[in-house]
């Protein structure tokens, strides 16, 4: 183990975390196909998802809050088109987003655009599908029926990855793994992953899969931004090296906090002002939230020096730091996508760390 300087804007002091030493030359040669590479037709970088063979863009597009709710279908189509044309090949959604309308919007756009199905990756998440007891959780019944519902809304024959959107203490782990293996064997999904699971739960799923010759999870979807870093930087790397589980991260802008939109209050059109998001407004008004807002101003000053936005700096820094992660912001503007044309050097990474 050795120390590596990491990015941190949530503290006024330099942050250091323990990470594994670089793999040996033999290991690198054995996994040469997993290296990050620039796409043939864009400046987007692509990485293997965990230690699977699936190549995904290091930046994906999420649909939480926005699709089917906060923005129009026309705007959603414009965002998706810009993302796809910029090299983004990963689109993330969930059965619970806007009560299924996000999946419907995403599916309608994909059908209208007529892009080759083999040219992009669609992921969805299963847990909250309805009000009935049998329409929630990770029972075999809901995993199978919930995914069928998602496929109908998406107008797709399969999704590339289906995520278990939370762990479920009421469902035996073996039942979950067997159900995920079943939907993969049936051609409803290519891979499965976890979302907001802890390391112990992921290891249990992996062990059961190996014990009964089932399909193990390929990645964990975790929150990751300047103010939420421990899981991705300290816990998931260990799982990646031990069992090959990668990371797909969400909320790189901390729910919009890092954009600066909340520096002077809560705008009427913002997420924190929406019905059902009082928790976000409460977080902004908390003592910790006020401290974070003050640190964000320093981030904006550095972004000005770089001639970019704070959002571009935040996303670019996260993807620069970890080569086994993919980041998908939930966005309705085009500026975040343009970060892919901007390269951060180590000097500015260190400057960001010192904020």
3-state SS of 13-73 is CCCEEEECCCCCHHHHHHCHHHCCEECCCCCCEEEECCCCCCEEECECEECCCHHHHHCCH
Distance CA 170, CA 139 (A): 8
CA angle (72, 325, 183) in 5-degree steps: 70
Kindly report the backbone phi and psi dihedral angles of residue 255, in degrees, each rounded to the nearest multiple of 5, phi listed first: 65, 25
Q: Which of 272, 230, 225, 275 is nearest to 252 (CA)?
A: 225
Report the catalytic residues: 97
Q: Which of 65, 73, 150 is nearest to 113 (CA)?
A: 73
Distance CA 185, CA 83 (A): 31
SS3 category, 87: coil
């Amino acid at each position: 183990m050795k120390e590596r300087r990491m990015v941190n804007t949530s503290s006024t002091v330099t942050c250091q975390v323990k990470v594994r030493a670089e793999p040996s030359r033999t290991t690198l040669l054995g996994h040469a196909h997993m290296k990050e590479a620039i796409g043939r037709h864009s400046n987007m970088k692509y990485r293997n998802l965990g230690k699977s063979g699936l190549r995904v863009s290091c930046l994906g597009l999420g649909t939480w809050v926005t699709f089917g709710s906060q923005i129009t279908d026309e705007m959603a189509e414009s965002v998706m088109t810009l993302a796809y044309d910029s090299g983004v090949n990963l689109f993330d959604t969930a059965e619970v987003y806007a009560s299924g309308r996000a999946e419907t919007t995403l599916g309608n756009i994909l059908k209208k655009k007529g892009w080759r199905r083999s040219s992009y990756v669609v992921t969805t998440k299963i847990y909250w599908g309805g009000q009935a007891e049998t329409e929630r959780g990770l029972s075999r019944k809901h995993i199978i029926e919930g995914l069928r519902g998602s496929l109908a809304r998406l107008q797709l024959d399969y999704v590339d990855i289906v995520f278990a959107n939370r762990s479920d203490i009421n469902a035996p782990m073996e039942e979950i793994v067997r159900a995920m293996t079943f939907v993969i064997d049936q051609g409803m999904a290519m891979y499965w992953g976890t979302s907001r699971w802890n390391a112990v739960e992921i290891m249990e799923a992996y062990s059961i899969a190996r014990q009964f010759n089932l399909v193990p999870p390929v990645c964990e979807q975790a929150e990751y931004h300047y103010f939420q870093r421990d899981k991705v930087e300290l816990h998931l790397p260990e799982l990646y090296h031990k069992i090959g589980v990668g990371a797909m991260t969400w909320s790189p802008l901390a729910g919009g906090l890092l954009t600066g939109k909340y520096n002077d209050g809560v705008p009427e059109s913002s997420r924190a002002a929406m019905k059902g998001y009082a928790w976000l407004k409460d977080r902004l008004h908390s003592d910790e939230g006020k401290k974070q807002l003050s640190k964000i101003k320093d981030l904006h000053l550095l972004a000005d020096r770089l001639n970019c936005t704070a959002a571009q700096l935040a996303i670019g820094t996260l993807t620069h730091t970890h080569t086994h992660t993919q980041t998908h912001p939930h966005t309705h503007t085009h500026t975040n996508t343009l970060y892919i044309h901007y390269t951060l050097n180590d000097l500015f990474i260190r400057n960001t760390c010192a904020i």
